[in-house]
Every structure is written in C-alpha cells, then in structure tokens.
Amino acid sequence: MPYDIKVIVKDRKGNTASKEMTLTVKPALANTSSVRSTSIKLGDPINITGSASGGSGSYKYSYYFKQASKSGWTTKTANTSSSSVSITPSLAVDYNIKVTVTDSTGKTASKTFTVKVNPTAIVNNSAVQSTSIMLGSTINVSASASGGNGSYKYSYYFKQAANSSWTTKAANTAAKTVTIKPSQAVDYNVKVVVLDTDGRSASKIFTVKVNTPPLTNKSSVKSTAIKLGNTIDITAAAEGGSGSYKYSYYFKQASGSAWTAKSTNTTAASVSIKPSKAVSYNVKVVVTDSKGTTSTKTFTVSVTKSTLANNSSAASSSIKLGNTINITALASGGAKPYKYSYYFKQAANSGWTAKATNTTASSISIKPSQAVDYNIKVVVTDAEGAVSEKAFTVKVTK
C-alpha cells in the first residue's frame, strides 16, 4: 500500500526546508492455492487450483504429488501459467499435493495438502453364460469385479440347490473363467467370491437349472435293402431321457397294418428279423427310459428275391455200364422251398424220360441200359414258380 513521507530540515538559524515523497510497500508473496476436497474415492481426481497474492508481476505454478508414505515427489506440471490441474490416484492411500508459486522476480511460496483416497466398494460383476442348460453340458462362469483396491483373486464354489454344503472348484485364483459339469438334472447353485488386495470381498450366487435332455431314439438298421433269405439286422440305441433303457422291436409287411412283436421291454440292443417274402417290410424300435418316456423310430427295408440258381451235380461224368448215375439237386436264391424234376435220355435221342417230377427229394440214381452217352437234366422250381434248369452229359462205357 502507498505511504506519504514528509522530511523537514532545520538549520542553526532556524531556517527550514521540507520535501514530501510517496512510498509504495508491496505485500509478501502468498500462496493461496487449494484442493477441491481433502477426501475422495479411488477413481476420482484430485482437483487443484493454483493461486497467489502479493509478490511481483505474474505467477507461474508447479504441481507435485506423492503417496504420503513415500519421500520422492512426482512432477505433474512445472512452471506453467495454468492455474488448475487434476491428478488421479492409482491407490487408495493418503496422497500429498504440493503447489509452488513463483513470481516474476523469482520469489517462491509453496503450499502442501494431504488428500485421503478411499477405496470404492468392491462390486462383483461375475456372470454365468446361461441359467438353464442340458445335462451333459457345462456351466460356464466368468468372474469380474470393479471397485475395491488393487488386483483381484477369485474363488468358485458350487452345490446342488437342495444341499447345504459347497464344493470348491477353485480358490484364490487369478483365473477369470471356470467350467462346472453337473452330474445330475437338478438345480445347481454357483458362487463366485471376489477378494481385493485389502482383503475386502464380494460374493455373487447364481442358480442354474440343469434339464434332462429329451429322449432321442438313435436306433438303426444295418441295411435298408436286402435279399430274401438274409436278415434285417437292427441295432437299438438312445440318448437323453432318464436312467437306463428298454427296447421293443416290431415288424410287419409294409402293405399290412398289424405289427408283430419280435421282442419287448428287453435290454438287448440288437435283434435280427428274417423276412419270409420278397416285399417291403416296416421295422419299428420303441425305446423306453426309466421314467416311462418313450421314443419310436421306424424303418422301411426293401426285401428282394435273389436270382434262382441251379447248383445240381452228377457224381461222375463217366461210369461203367451196370453202374448208376448219381444226381444231387441243389439250389440257391429264389424263394424257398424248392421242388426238383429229374429227366434223362440217350444223347442221340430227342425225347426226355422223367425220372421224378416236382419232388422234394434232392438226390436220385439212374441206371443206363446201354453203353452210350446220356443226357441228364435237373429242373428246380422255387416257391414262387421261378424255374432254373441244368443239364449234364455222362459217358457210359462197357
């Protein structure tokens, strides 16, 4: 502030002379900086306002910070004309803030604050991928958290909802994901506990419904096309449902309406059915689980005739007069049963002589009367009237 000063000089003779002056006295440099709050939550900034009074000319500000328990300061900004800065602490501890003001003549004034940084409440943000799964699938758990202080550790627990005691899946691990595979189709509880570096914890519990998968009939037939005389081979299989399975097997000709039971409520997982005709057949497998739930699967199998083959033979193609020509009739394919007709003639003649016709006898003997070549013919007829012939020549010598 200004002061008026007057000086009066007086000599020995009493003469006087005076002079008046004005003196301005400037106040000392004062640091008037401030922080918005001396107590904040971790994650919030420390807001600092630099200000000053007194001193000379304009001001420059330098801002420093450190954890209260440390000795070395960290410079946020130095010799700036900016009168405000923000510092965001990384830990929930006390922080020291220092603001140094410098005027245009180089004079400085410092001011220090202590700001308490409080941890935010720890929040458990864990989740399960689904709250309803099928038995055989896994419960996928993802752990996450916010707030608290420092890093996190996770503990995972599970139990059947009807039980009281928890089973530990993993404890105090940094792993953020785990999978749990339920053993039964019941409700399960899953618990995730998050722990921060200060020992604070937060728990979160989920209920996951574990459903019984639907009963599925996975039965099959070995082939959907066979030859008459072969079997329809059936393999029963199932998945889902509850407990063990029982199988019932049925068949019918596709043109018919009534089913014939091959076997019912058996644990046998395979059966064979031998069709009696060359037509299409329906085959049905019914699976029943331990709760009585059923699942049915039907197949159509085409049964076709194999070509009738005459495999008859003569015991020898050369005999002595007086011996017999021994013939064995044999057939395959076609439709059983077979009938056989036997004919013979001298090779030089044209007319055949019947030895036996339409008989089930599969062997006969013919005794030649002359020492000449003989023709033998066997005719096979199957149950559907298909015919196959086979002829032999037998040399008869003296």
What b/e sequence results for 15-50 when a residue is b if at least 16 CB atoms lie within 10 Å of its CB, and e otherwise? Answer: eeeeeeeeeeeeeebebebebeeeebebeeebebeb
pLDDT digits (tens, 9 = 90+) for 167-219: 999 999 999 999 999 999 999 999 999 999 989 999 999 999 999 999 999 99
298 with 337, same domain: the answer is no
Q: What CA–CA distance (Å, rounded) separates 357 from 347?
A: 20
pLDDT score, position 254: 97
Please report the pLDDT score of residue 7 as a whole number: 78
Q: Is 9 a domain residue?
A: no
The number of angstroms, rounded, from the C-alpha of 173 to the middle of its chain's C-alpha atoms is 24
Residue 24 counted as domain residue: no
Q: What is the CATH number of the domain that holds 333?
A: 2.60.40.1080
Same domain as 248, residue 195: no
- Mean pLDDT by runs of 10 across the 398 residues of the chain is 75 85 80 97 95 95 98 97 96 95 96 95 96 96 92 97 98 98 96 94 97 95 93 97 95 97 97 94 97 97 92 97 97 90 97 97 97 98 93 96
132 and 205 part of one domain: yes
Residue 183 region by backbone torsions, left for phi larger than 0, else alpha for psi between -120 and 50, else beta: alpha
State residue 25's pLDDT score. Answer: 62
Residue 25 lies in a domain: no
For residue 47, is it within any domain?
yes
- Residue 71 maps to a domain: yes
> Looking up tokens 């189709």, which residue turns up?
185
Q: Are residues 100 and 143 in the same domain?
A: no
Residue 142 shares a structural domain with residue 170: yes
- Structural domains in the chain (count): 4
35 in any annotated domain: yes
Give me 102's structure tokens: 């410098």
**What CATH number is attached to the domain comprising 286?**
2.60.40.10
Report how far apart, in Å, the C-alpha atoms of 172 and of each of 124, 140, 233 are: 15, 18, 56
Question: Domain check: are 40 and 67 in the same one?
Answer: yes
164, 191, 211 — which closes off a domain? Answer: 211
Question: Do 347 and 296 share a structural domain?
Answer: no
**Whether 276 and 264 share a structural domain:** yes
Looking at the structure, tell me whether residues 300 and 357 fall in a common domain: no
Give the separation between CA 284 and CA 274, rounded to whole angstroms.
14
Single out the residue in 278, 304, 330 at which a domain terminates.
Answer: 304
- Asked whether residue 149 is assigned to any structural domain, the reply reads yes
Residue type, position 100, single letter: T
Both 197 and 228 in one domain: the answer is no
Q: Are strands 94-102 and 60-67 parallel, antiparallel or unpaired?
A: antiparallel
Count the alpha carbons within 13 Å of 124 in the hemisphere toward its beta carbon: 22
Specify if 38 maps to a domain.
yes
- The Cα diameter of the chain in Å comes to 204
Q: Which domain holds residue 53?
A: 30-118
Q: What is the pTM of this model?
A: 0.55
110 and 130 inside one domain: no
Are residues 34 and 108 located together in one domain of the fold?
A: yes
How confident is the model at residue 1, as a pLDDT?
A: 55
Whether 99 and 111 have beta carbons less than 8 Å apart is answered as: yes
- Tens digit of pLDDT for each residue in 354-369? 999 999 999 999 999 9
Residue 352 contacts residue 345 (beta carbons within 8 Å): yes
Pick the last residue of a domain from 75, 91, 118.
118
